[in-house]
Structure 1
């Protein structure tokens, strides 16, 4: 009973919390409501897929590529945030438009790892809500 969340129907972003550590390491998922069995099951599966089994080196190795890919995306977004902040503080209107477009593209719902990347502290602190679709 409980099953898994359906990303097309179940409002996953409101039922799961996604967090990512400094430098894009250790993606983690948890249910917003501990009584939500489907959210708990989904979080458990996502943690396994992203991090492997605790204490199982082969499992950790098999999931390393995904973590490295997420870290690269984290770095791309950090650079885009810095470019956006710089353009906003001392850039031209054109530079700001380019920086806004790049940042909104990286944070789009259609971009890879959206929920994890939007949970970055820098996104929470420095990205205006209007750049998030």
Structure 2
């Protein structure tokens, strides 16, 4: 019999576009719920926010339910900075993982910086739960 669990992700993202005189700031949050099947990788959340006409942060979370009912979450946060919010100039990248035991909620913080030019940054808070359906 295949195991199923409910994963919920709650994410907040604070972004700063570093400017000489006045920094521009942006905030977004998202809540997503998915039913996971044992052994199958599932996209849990994709979140994107642009700020100040120059900075964009993207977050991707994938989840997999293990036979022991733990949820394994793999995440990637990327910061782009350029002449527009659609820039493909990747200036910061953070990969991370989380293990969310059965019937628990785990919180993880990701700080991403502009590793090339400095200044721009984002603080991301991720809370994942692993609950019975």
TM value normalised by structure 2: 0.26
> Greater relative contact order: 1 or 2 (C-alpha under 8 angstroms, separation 6 or more)?
2
TM value normalised by structure 1: 0.26
Q: Which has the higher strand share?
A: 2
Q: Which has the higher helix share?
A: 1
